[in-house]
Structure 1
Amino acid sequence: MSVSIKDVAAAASVSVGTVSNVLNRRDKVSPATVERVQAAIDELGFVRNDAARQLRAGRSRSIGLIVLDSANPFFAEVARGAEERAAAAGISVLLGNSDQDPAREGAYLDLFREQRVNGVLLTPHDLNAAILTDAGIPLVLVDGELPGGEVPSVAVDDIEGGQLAVAHLLAQGRRRIAFVGGPLAIRQVADRLEGARRALAEVSGATLEVIELDALTVLRGREAGEAIAARPTDARPDAVFCANDLLAVGVLQGTAILGGIRVPQDLALIGYDDIDFAQSTVVPLSSVRQPAREIGASAVDLLFDALADPTSPPRHVRFRPQLVVRASTVL
């Protein structure tokens, strides 16, 4: 038989209101009373009905987080940063993986609304989607920013990141550069490519080949690497900039391990995100670092600010990327 709050109150010889205060507002109760009520809770095995409490309060003790790919270590670190910051405020984070599918993204938004979460942190599939300005729930965009700035956001300057990556390759004397990434409809991918083009515009005689893929995975990267390795030597790029580190790991497998191409002697290779695994590959990968955990924590802070004052103007945080040079680009 389930134990009720009345049972706890009787066992602790206090009122139901006092038990409620212990559960929700301990600062209003003396330490001795808190200790007595907690002892009764432990002895009886009481578990509060959070669903019922949510219905009464109209709000839960959780927030939602929807990412493009939960298997990507970058988003795992974003989630970790969000969880750490939320937990410090007694809030839990519910994770949803849209898998770059707008229908799944919409389904998770519907689910989180039904769960009465306080708000949602969202890495959107499409920054032009109308739902972003009419979601019916407080939103903070993660790793993206609306052009009009109507929604709070945390982002990284991916155009600058693309410039950093390709400027580094050009500084190493590379002139036939390939960009591997996609789909280009993803804003982050498009911005990194735009940054690459800006860097190339500064160097005469340098060329950029775009190899568009349908997913940002190790498997797609390996397939691209194998295709590059299968070309005649004079038709290969001498450097590859990948839209993320997972692709770069795959390209390294397809070229250096399976294709016999020397990295970096024959092919310089750089990724993006600087996930933990980047420095542990057979040839440690150069990359462009994003402060993933700080992004997640900052997104939670922005959501809390918006909840505390819904009338305040949306705040925006933009981090700058950092070039991390390792053996895959430097002889």
Structure 2
Amino acid sequence: MKAPIGIRDVALRAEVSVGTVSNVLNRPDVVAAATRARVLAAIDALGYVRNEPARQLRSGTARTIGLVVLDVGNPFFTDVARGVEEAASEAGHAVILCNSGESVTKERGHVELLAAQRVHGVLITPVQSGPAQVRWLRERGISVVLLDHPTAEADLCSVAVDDRHGGELAVTHLLAEGCERIVMVTGPAGIHQAAERHRGARDAIRLAGRPPEVLEVLTAPALNVACGLRAGEQLLARTVRPDAVFCANDLLALGLLQAAVRAGVRVPEDLAIVGYDDIDFAAAAAVPLTSVRQPRHELGRTAAALVIAESQSPAEHEHRHEVFTPELIVRESSRRPRPSRHFHVKAPPEERKNEWI
């Protein structure tokens, strides 16, 4: 394998000093135009690519931010990452994407790696509330923004959605559709978002004046399609089935919808389904999925802007807690058919003689 071209190779090719090449790369205005052109021609001919991490280590600055999410396979986080990358790119930053896989151990390893890379800041959707990793990063002077996770800490920025309100929206809708036996399929208790959506679901039952047993909770080991499929198979095998299911995210809901289709259960006539996130696949499902929409792209953009602003001016930075309001998007998966009413209108007496007998 060919050794990478270094700055000394460029200097030899251009017949200048290493310092001159460095000036061309970092302070081109101090180099004579003819010399600058000769160095740039050498860079082009050799295919030299500057060692950006080494340059950042020497200068004590970095132009990268870290993004740690729960599940990179979830389209929700894909859309959030697009927003992060877009805002970071506009500010001249790159993004290192890390997947915790809902594992505290993996999350810790990613955080330590990002610190070793001297990133400007870290955006993190923590696996658990109050993570030690956030404190660990901040003790080392690294800016942190909690993403899709609210906080009450005055010295820490956060960007989140009102998940409690979102859970209330979902279950209020199912009650309005006449559902009587509702199951919420949620995720591990330590995941803040799932817990808040469950609280909102309970709020809807209470505000409607319904008994708590109207809502049953089924906890899945993870928030993915496979777990949704297994939950659906379990629920549909019961003698008395639920007539509605609210899932803590769209992946669970899509898996559950798959189970219903396989079992020949009509959606929404026999089983109404509501998801959460409103990923693109929700509208494209075999039965378009009702879902609680989150502003995914805006979440990412806002979080990236906050962490970059803090890292550039930490002393002047004012910490903010941004909370977006979710929106219920109603589609076919939860629209229960209304009973049709047929009215027989009798003809006036003078017209009855013309009726067929």
Label 1:299 to 1:60 Cα distance change in 2 as closer, same or farther (>3 A): same
The within-5 A match list for 1:240-251 is 240-251=245-256
Aligned position for 1:57: 59
Label 1:97 to 1:229 Cα distance change in 2 as closer, same or farther (>3 A): same
Give the letter for the 1:160 counterpart: H
Check the 8 A contact 2:223/2:248 in 1, yes or no.
yes
Which moved further from structure 2: 187-196 or 5-14?
5-14
Distance 1:85 1:27 in 2: 29
Check the 8 A contact 2:288/2:332 in 1, yes or no.
yes
Aligned position for 1:45: 47
Distance 2:12 2:244 in 1: 73
Question: Is it true that 1:186 corresponds to 2:157 in the alignment?
Answer: no
Instruction: State the identity %.
Output: 52
The within-5 A match list for 1:17-166 is 19-20=21-22, 22-24=24-26, 37-135=39-137, 136=140, 137-166=142-171
SS in 2 for 1:201: helix
Which moved further from structure 2: 66-75 or 145-154?
145-154
Aligned position for 2:242: 237
Residue 318 (structure 1) shift = 1.4
- Across the aligned residues of Structure 1 and Structure 2, the Cα RMSD in angstroms comes to 2.3
SS in 2 for 1:125: coil
Count of matched residue positions in the alignment of Structure 1 and Structure 2:
328
TM-score, normalized by length of structure 1?
Answer: 0.91
Give the letter for the 2:148 counterpart: D
* 1:243-270 deviations in Å (ceiling 9; x for gaps): 0000000111112x12221111111101
Which moved further from structure 2: 144-153 or 94-103?
144-153
SS in 2 for 1:179: strand
User: Which ranges of structure 2 fall in alignment gaps of 5 or more residues?
Assistant: 338-357
User: Which ranges of structure 1 fall in alignment gaps of 5 or more residues?
Assistant: none
SS in 2 for 1:84: helix
Check the 8 A contact 2:167/2:196 in 1, yes or no.
yes
TM-score, normalized by length of structure 2?
Answer: 0.85
Distance 2:31 2:233 in 1: 67
Residue 143 (structure 1) shift = 0.5
Q: Highest Rg: 1 or 2?
A: 2
Choose the corresponding residue for 1:265, options 269, 276, 279.
269
